[in-house]
Structure 1
Amino acid sequence: MQRYGAALPLALALLWLIAPGARAQAAAAMLERGNGPEPSTLDAHRCQEVACGNVLRDLYEGLVTEDARGRLIPGMAQRWSVSADGRSWTFTLREGLQWSNGEPIDAQQIVASFRRAFAPATAAPFGELFDALDNAQAVQAGKLPPQRLGVSAADARTVVFRLNRSAGLPALLTLPIAFPVYLPAVEQYGAQHTRPGRLVSNGAYRLAAWTPQANLVVEKNPRFHDAAAVAIERVRFQVTEDAAAELQRFAAGDLHITEVVPPQPLPALRKRFGAQLRLSPYLGAFWLGINLTRPPLRSAACATPPCEDRELALRRALTLAIDRDKLTRYVTGLGETPAYGIVPPGIAGYTPAAMPWQSLSQTQREEHARALYRHAGYSDDKPLVIELRYNTSTPHRRLTLAVAAMWRQTLGVQVRLRNEEWKVFVQNRKQRTITQVFRGGWIGDLADARNFLAAFGSDGPLNWMGYDDAGYRERLAKADAARSEAARNAWLRAAEQRLLNDNAAIPLYFYSSKHLVASNVRGFEANALDRHASRWLSLSP
């Protein structure tokens, strides 16, 4: 061990006097990232939220990946091709691919991982996004064995996918469900294969440590095929559910990148942080979900049209009573825009649908909301009592408080707010047993309108509302069968319009990407899906 002698105390004293951001870099030699709530899992096939996705994109790489600007580039596959009818895709692997434990990766292991992803026992939440993959839905439902899934290995370096319709498969292969999971660890450790010392990955980083409800550390994977280009040796993902506290940690030099920025006046933030504040367009929609399987917004015992009409009137009243301009100006206030639909703007070739009353003034909307509220059977003497559920987060709490106040002031609704830790919230939302109105929304996995609409068309784990409409499913099916992109988008828009007419969800706003990024971080690029893998970043002196 090298000895430093008496010079060390002086060096430490000088280090403490330098700027906080530089102190964090020099003291830790590690990238510190805010990451929102505790990741619900590091099982790539079971991940369904941003917090685990951020970490998994450092730990794993799919056949296709994305560069810093979100453009598709080769991952494990060095090249790929598609048949003339768009239904057969062939991927050729790079030579010499290895797991983080040094074992080789071949095509058959990738095929086996896909079969595990779609096996019923895995219950992969994003499986329904792969409905174009041959037999994927039947395999996930247990109607066919995993061996019938439309993916095979032609040889040790060739993976072939069979589709039941033309689809943009490469973009789908960037999702965590398409990452290769090391099955010997799953067989040996079961659900515990995601723990440090057991998780075997294939990406730019490998898992070094995980302290629940505190942080997660990844370290550079020397066996990654592009390890020489990975600049940062270690990354610590910090649990930062409190956005205000996250901002203070950034200001103190304890974080290089924040996951969000708390609602504050934009001029003050710009004055305080200057170019470190990064705002950009983002394919994401925030809406409130409605449990359509239970009273008071849908009664399972009600089968007569007048009753259904009253429930629809109540859902529309709640939707109309919210002033989205006030929400985005005074509550969120960081570049978000009012939403009157489910699909955000910015998707090439797609014209989003909108609520039919969008052109009304807020005063007209509120008058209409009160009339619908009375039609639904509610009044000052008989107010609606409803529960609004959200996960722990400063911005979400501010938003739900504002919505509750608008419902109370405009309609007289009595709102009970329910705050839950992320994992509990996700489980309750998925089960559809105790929820009434809840925080929902969708962050785009792909720059495709269908990605925002698919969950409403099945009874899968992402249909938190329990929306069940044959006309909606028919429109999605016609979009899938369309022979041109224009026809496909037209049918998708018709499906979105039907969803909005049914008031199955309450759109509030479209996201903006908002982060604080330290001045010495290089390579952080804005992109529509707001993905920032650590392999593209570096820390300058």
Structure 2
Amino acid sequence: MEANANSVATVSPFQEMQIPSFRFAIPLLALFLLPMYYPRRNYTMKKHYRHFSYCTRNMHSIHGTKQAPASISHAFPVRALFTPLLLAILYTLLLVATAHARPLDKATAPAAPQDALRILIRTIPEQFDPARAHTHAASTILADLFEGLITVGPDGELLPGAAEKWTVSPNGRTYTFRLRSNMRWSDGTSLTSRDFLYSFTRLFALGENAPRGYDFHGIEGAELPRKTGDATNLGIAAPDDRTLIIRLREPNPFFLRMLTHTGAVPVPRHAIERHGDLWSTPENLIVNGPFAISSRENDNLLSLHRNPHFHSVSQVAPNKVCYLVTEDDDNPCRMAQAGHVDIVQHLPAHQVQYAKRHMPGWLRANPQLNTYWLSLNHKDPRLASLKVRRALYLSIHREKITEGLDNGAVPAYGLIPRMKGYAPLAAPTSAYEVRLAEAALLMREAGYSDARPLRLTIQTTQEASSNLITAAIIRNWRKIHVFADIEYKTFPELMSSLRAGDYTVSRRAWTTGLPSPIYFLNVFHSASATNFSRWANPQFDSLMASAESARTPEGKTAMYQAAEALLVEQAALIPLFHGASLSLVSPFVTGWQDNPYGARLSRWLSKTLPSKPAASAKE
């Protein structure tokens, strides 16, 4: 049966109570199935049941092919259903009564020591190579393990990291960093400016295998082909052990904040030369950040301890940090309430109402710069037609989707969210029904109809919020002769399919702490390793180059707006919404500060253990 068109705009009572809705199908089925096994001697009941079944089979269907009879000629014996009805009611009441007490699935709720700072995260990467990191979860963990020249404080503002100070030339193109003295890796080996030089050459040598490498293309010579360790014609120099000089092609007011990202941290050359690609596995990993890896248990528990060689180890608040993963989308609130986690990094949308009502003081909003969209594989011939892509873009009712998320999300009609000096692309002035009619016309012009529909597959993760969003999209597309199936994947599988181009339509999100449109638009540059859509447009690349060379903020903004308009005009993607991420933070955790950069390092967070009630004296 087709889902109600408004279901995406609400959170069902079953979801709020964390009860899978399918469980309530059991008592309903009992009403009709149990009478079939009623003793044969009750001929009257069986006769009436057969007549009732005949009538219901001929009632009006969703296709409108048959009409229900005006009345049922024989009264159905209600008394015959008394026993199954009573059982159904009792079963339903039992489910409701035990909803909040449903035990955690031990297979998906790993245990971590209570004295550790325990963070529930979406996924834990297989390896910990900063240059290859491509997910927000991986970047979060790597920020605890590695530190670049610049770091961030509790409020997200810039602080000295591995560099104790720096200067910028008058023309804004040359940065000179002075590293701290006696810097060391976690194995005690000295860390120098040459480690940073080596790491940047490796980042650029990896090319498409370094998703964030393109973000640093503004460094002189970064675009030239090179091997790891080769700094020929590269605008980076290490004249001595404590000095690093970086030259840019053009001034970039966000360059210092860029250096806080994982692509700019140092990697241990001696470990890479010893272990090759296995250097970044937990057992071989050598780091320079506030924490080092203690152990990893399967894919759902990563334990960290203070790095004794970190330059400011006395300022690292927690002794231990544990990252946990659960496969159950209903576990986060229950794990937090049961005292198994202290922080839930991303709260699923369907649990927001429950957290608001039953977990006062836990819910925190993260006003991050992010966009959620449908990624289109432009190598798929089914999406080659601009008319088809435009129809898919126009037919989605974004307002209905965001009404149901309840997490501060706003409809997105372009790629770039609101940020200082830049407003998001305005919503169309025409009503949704008008846009839907235009989309249907485009599909008919492209040769599609109910008799010849376009069939697509949407890849997504199996989460309640994702299911609601995908269901709404499928309903919208049905109205324009598009039949879409769902292919569920785990988050790592989803990212793997995106990178390999093994998809037609896939959900995607992009989050950045850099308040500039370029860090969203770069995703669609033809040379970007994060351009998983395989969309290539010379005009777009030219607009990006013009934005980089523009001398005034107004000139850059004009180029950014033109580039974003081209993305939408060509339907290179299907934007869905911009929105804040919601987290759960225990009242026993201190040091958490909401900030627009979404930057919260574990080193700044403290935790007090809840006091145990005093034992009563024996009388």
1:348 matched to 2:416: no
Pair 1:201–1:144, CA change in 2 (3 A): closer
Which of 372, 379, 384 is the equivalent residue of 2:454? 384
Pair 1:25–1:288, CA change in 2 (3 A): closer
Residue 441 of structure 1 aligns to a residue whose secondary structure is strand
Partner residue in 2 for 1:6: none
Residue 53 of structure 1 aligns to a residue whose secondary structure is helix
Give 1:482 shift. Answer: 0.6
Moved more, 104-113 or 187-196: 187-196
User: Which amino acid in structure 1 is aligned with residue 589 of structure 2?
Assistant: V
Give 1:80 shift. Answer: 1.1
Q: In the aligned structure 2, how far is the partner of 1:144 from the partner of 1:210?
A: 31
Residue 507 of structure 1 aligns to a residue whose secondary structure is strand
Give 1:407 shift. Answer: 1.4
User: Which amino acid in structure 1 is aligned with residue 130 of structure 2?
Assistant: A
Moved more, 78-87 or 59-68: 78-87
Residue 423 of structure 1 aligns to a residue whose secondary structure is helix
Q: Mind listing any 5+ residue stretches in structure 2 that lack a counterpart? A: 1-103, 105-109, 610-619
Q: In the aligned structure 2, how far is the partner of 1:132 from the partner of 1:249?
A: 44
Q: In the aligned structure 2, how far is the partner of 1:436 from the partner of 1:205?
A: 40
Partner residue in 2 for 1:316: 390
Which of 161, 164, 172 is the equivalent residue of 1:86? 172
Does the Cα contact within 8 Å between 1:284 and 1:441 map onto a contact in 2?
A: yes
Partner residue in 1 for 2:7: none
1:166 matched to 2:251: yes
Kindly report which structure 2 residues correspond to 1:471-490, keeping only aligned pairs within 5 A, or say none.
471-490=539-558
Partner residue in 1 for 2:343: 257
Query: CA-to-partner distance for each residue in 1:85-127, whole Å, 9 max, x for gaps?
Result: 2221111111221111122211112211221222137821111
Partner residue in 1 for 2:297: 211
Partner residue in 1 for 2:237: 152
User: Which amino acid in structure 2 is aligned with residue 264 of structure 1?
Assistant: H
User: Which amino acid in structure 1 is aligned with residue 239 of structure 2?
Assistant: A
Which of 483, 489, 502 is the equivalent residue of 1:414? 483
Query: CA-to-partner distance for each residue in 1:416-469, whole Å, 9 max, x for gaps?
Result: 11112233322221222x311111221114121100001211233211111111
Partner residue in 2 for 1:69: 155
User: Which amino acid in structure 2 is aligned with residue 426 of structure 1?
Assistant: M
Q: In the aligned structure 2, how far is the partner of 1:230 from the partner of 1:144?
A: 32
Residue 330 of structure 2 aligns to a residue whose secondary structure is helix
Identity of aligned pairs, percent? 31
Partner residue in 2 for 1:514: 582
Partner residue in 2 for 1:283: 369
Q: In the aligned structure 1, how far is the partner of 2:228 from the partner of 2:298?
A: 37
Q: In the aligned structure 2, how far is the partner of 1:326 from the partner of 1:127?
A: 37
Kindly report which structure 2 residues correspond to 1:6-155, keeping only aligned pairs within 5 A, or say none.
28-120=114-206, 123-139=209-225, 145-155=230-240
Query: CA-to-partner distance for each residue in 1:478-501, whole Å, 9 max, x for gaps?
Result: 110011112111211111111111
Query: CA-to-partner distance for each residue in 1:157-207, whole Å, 9 max, x for gaps?
Result: 110011111123211111111111111111111222223342111111011
Q: In the aligned structure 1, how far is the partner of 2:466 from the partner of 2:270?
A: 40
Residue 206 of structure 2 aligns to a residue whose secondary structure is coil
Q: In the aligned structure 2, how far is the partner of 1:450 from the partner of 1:460?
A: 12
Residue 138 of structure 1 aligns to a residue whose secondary structure is coil
1:427 matched to 2:499: no
Q: In the aligned structure 2, how far is the partner of 1:156 from the partner of 1:372?
A: 63
Moved more, 55-64 or 84-93: 84-93
Query: CA-to-partner distance for each residue in 1:202-259, whole Å, 9 max, x for gaps?
Result: 1110111112321111101122111111111011101235432222211211110002
Q: In the aligned structure 2, how far is the partner of 1:191 from the partner of 1:144?
A: 16
Moved more, 382-391 or 523-532: 523-532
Which of 300, 306, 315 is the equivalent residue of 1:229? 315
Query: CA-to-partner distance for each residue in 1:25-74, whole Å, 9 max, x for gaps?
Result: 99621011011023253111110111111110000110011112211111
User: Which amino acid in structure 2 is aligned with residue 150 of structure 1?
Assistant: G
Residue 228 of structure 1 aligns to a residue whose secondary structure is helix
Residue 189 of structure 1 aligns to a residue whose secondary structure is helix
Q: In the aligned structure 2, how far is the partner of 1:533 from the partner of 1:435?
A: 34
1:239 matched to 2:325: yes
Q: In the aligned structure 2, how far is the partner of 1:459 from the partner of 1:380?
A: 39
Pair 1:490–1:241, CA change in 2 (3 A): farther
Q: In the aligned structure 1, how far is the partner of 2:530 from the partner of 2:155?
A: 28
Pair 1:251–1:340, CA change in 2 (3 A): same
User: Which amino acid in structure 2 is aligned with residue 362 of structure 1?
Assistant: Y
Partner residue in 2 for 1:304: none
Q: In the aligned structure 1, how far is the partner of 2:497 from the partner of 2:527?
A: 16
Give 1:509 shift. Answer: 0.6
User: Which amino acid in structure 1 is aligned with residue 305 of structure 2?
Assistant: E
Moved more, 142-151 or 440-449: 142-151
Pair 1:235–1:266, CA change in 2 (3 A): closer
Moved more, 31-40 or 200-209: 31-40
User: Which amino acid in structure 2 is aligned with residue 215 of structure 1?
Assistant: L
Residue 28 of structure 1 aligns to a residue whose secondary structure is coil
Does the Cα contact within 8 Å between 1:116 and 1:122 map onto a contact in 2?
A: no
User: Which amino acid in structure 2 is aligned with residue 158 of structure 1?
Assistant: T
Moved more, 399-408 or 375-384: 399-408
1:339 matched to 2:412: yes
Kindly report which structure 2 residues correspond to 1:432-451, keeping only aligned pairs within 5 A, or say none.
432=501, 434-451=502-519
Does the Cα contact within 8 Å between 1:91 and 1:158 map onto a contact in 2?
A: yes
Does the Cα contact within 8 Å between 1:69 and 1:526 map onto a contact in 2?
A: yes
User: Which amino acid in structure 1 is aligned with residue 486 of structure 2?
Assistant: L
1:375 matched to 2:445: yes
Does the Cα contact within 8 Å between 1:115 and 1:147 map onto a contact in 2?
A: no
Does the Cα contact within 8 Å between 2:375 and 2:533 map onto a contact in 1?
A: yes
Moved more, 447-456 or 33-42: 33-42
Pair 1:474–1:241, CA change in 2 (3 A): farther
Does the Cα contact within 8 Å between 1:32 and 1:237 map onto a contact in 2?
A: yes
Q: In the aligned structure 2, how far is the partner of 1:87 from the partner of 1:280?
A: 33
Give 1:513 shift. Answer: 2.0
Partner residue in 1 for 2:468: 398
Q: In the aligned structure 2, how far is the partner of 1:520 from the partner of 1:25?
A: 19
Give 1:324 shift. Answer: 0.9
What is the total number of aligned residue pairs between the two structures? 500
Q: In the aligned structure 1, how far is the partner of 2:229 from the partner of 2:308?
A: 39
Give 1:154 shift. Answer: 2.0
Aligned-residue CA RMSD (Å): 2.2
Does the Cα contact within 8 Å between 1:41 and 1:47 map onto a contact in 2?
A: no
Q: In the aligned structure 2, how far is the partner of 1:43 from the partner of 1:227?
A: 23
User: Which amino acid in structure 1 is aligned with residue 300 of structure 2?
Assistant: A
Partner residue in 2 for 1:306: none
Does the Cα contact within 8 Å between 1:513 and 1:530 map onto a contact in 2?
A: no
Residue 368 of structure 1 aligns to a residue whose secondary structure is helix
